[in-house]
Chains A and B, each alone.
Chain A
Amino acid sequence: AQKVTQAQTEISVVEKEDVTLDCVYETRDTTYYLFWYKQPPSGELVFLIRRNSFDEQNEISGRYSWNFQKSTSSFNFTITASQVVDSAVYFCALSDNRDDKIIFGKGTRLHILP
């Protein structure tokens, strides 16, 4: 069975600090996709990144970076020099190659304090 675990329920950091959100996944499939979504207070889930299981290269997009390690089944998300606008709930998610359903983790609520 597939599963996504986000062990950090809630994190608070002071603005400009770096913060890493952890994500551990379980799947028996060799082909799968990993995602991160952001849910700001407005409620709409915003897609951030999609990674397939064959691409372990780390990705950087501005202040955001993602570290995918198949050996530890982890797909962690780091925000560098955090800003108050980064305050949101962040979801890690997993999809297999059989259908297009996505399994979401429970989310990590991130508070960036001014």
Chain B
Amino acid sequence: DVKVTQSSRYLVKRTGEKVFLECVQDMDHENMFWYRQDPGLGLRLIYFSYDVKMKEKGDIPEGYSVSREKKERFSLILESASTNQTSMYLCASSIQGYEQYFGPGTRLTVT
């Protein structure tokens, strides 16, 4: 079974803090993705990566950065957290041309 894990299920941070969300997959997938999910807005793609050290902006990259130093790990970074980044963050991975598999999500609250 494909397994995608995320470092935390729940996270509470203060405005201005630097936040790291980690995602690890164990199936040697080339592609990894970060989404945020908000009520009424559905899933929105923040960043994705096709390979180690490669990254592509998604639909809403502002305020975020990513890092992919190893194939299995894709990190989402909030350089200076703001309250409008309070959301559910979902990580996914896939083989090229196939479905994405998702992690359990991290519910981030920025106060």
Contacts and interface: CB of A to CB of B under 8 A. Distances in A.
A43 B99 contact: no
Given A91-B43, A105-B42, A45 B31 contact: no
Contacts of B105: 43-44
A50 B98 contact: yes
Nearest to B48: A101
A2 to B, nearest CB: 12
Contacts of B94: 100
15 contacts: A33-B97, A37-B102, A42-B104, A43-B88, A43-B104, A47-B101, A50-B99, A91-B42, A91-B43, A100-B97, A100-B98, A100-B100, A101-B48, A104-B43, A107-B42
Nearest to A44: B104
Nearest to A46: B102
Interface residues of B, number: 25
A44 B42 contact: no
A97 B48 CA distance: 16
Contacts, number: 46
Q: Which 9 A-B pairs have the closest CB atoms?
A: A45-B102, A106-B42, A43-B105, A104-B43, A44-B104, A50-B99, A47-B99, A100-B31, A104-B42
Interface residues of A, number: 19
A85 B107 CA distance: 23
Given A100-B31, A107-B42, A45 B99 contact: no
Contacts of A100: 31, 48, 50, 94, 96-98, 100
Q: Which of B42, B94, B99 has the most CB of A within 10 A?
A: B99
Of the candidates A45, A91, A105, A107, the one having the most CB atoms from chain B within 10 angstroms of its own CB is A45
